[in-house]
Amino acid sequence: MEKKMEDKKINKIHPELYTYFSNTKEWEEKFLRPEILTGELDLYIDEELTNIYTIPFFTEEFCDAIIDEAESCNCWTVDRHESYPTTDMTMVTLGLHDTYEHLLKKYVWPLAMKMYQLEEPEWLDLYSENFIARYHPYAQYHLGLHHDMSQITVVVTLNTEDFTGGGTYFSNQKKQLKGEKGHISIHPGQITHRHGGLPVLTGQRYIIVSFCQLKR
């Protein structure tokens, strides 16, 4: 039912993005980095800052295509997060929630469990709120320091050369993380990793954010 409702809302300009479940092998070969498909993720993960891990994940083609889809849909909202509102669009609205959450469960969550030494099996059954966020100088250009309401937060860097400024600042670590195009970063959501979005000075910055939580 969810997918049918979504299909009516959007004009798909990259229909291949929506074929994961009917064309899994070809989809993954086109849109996931080859490092992911080796199954040896431990060889490619970096600990950029304390308990903040990064890994190459999506191809540049995926990043460009999903930005195109988001701008074509143009269903941006500014009032979903009351305390720290973002200009964003959910993956449900875009029609890609099921695909995206499946990829998190298949690749990202097992990796996070290993990195954070989470042994309980319920960690494999997280649920996530997934959305694309957009920053640019003439609307929302930054985000104040905050903690995420999640156990684990996953962020995908979708572009790097189309803007100046930007990046994520972690106040406790006193470090900035910008990320590489198509790479994901994983960090704890609550208490230890207070962070904010640094001002974008020119252009537009896009990221995918996932707030991952245990089912209660």
The pLDDT tens digits along the chain (216 residues) read 334 334 445 678 999 999 999 999 999 999 999 999 988 888 888 887 778 899 999 999 999 999 999 999 999 988 776 666 678 999 999 999 999 999 999 999 888 888 888 877 777 777 788 999 998 888 766 666 666 677 888 999 999 998 887 777 776 666 777 889 999 988 887 766 666 767 788 899 999 999 888 776
DSSP track, 98-128: HHHHHHIIIIIHHHHHHHTT--SGGGGG-EE
Residues found in the chain? 216
Closest listed residue to residue 86, CA positions, set 174, 168, 11: 168
Count structural domains, the chain. Answer: 1
Q: How far apart are CA 121 and CA 64, in angstroms?
A: 35
Cα 47 → chain centroid: 18
Containing structural domain, residue 10? 2-213
How far is residue 29's CA from residue 63's CA, in Å, rounded to a whole number? Answer: 14
- CATH code of 29's domain: 2.60.120.620
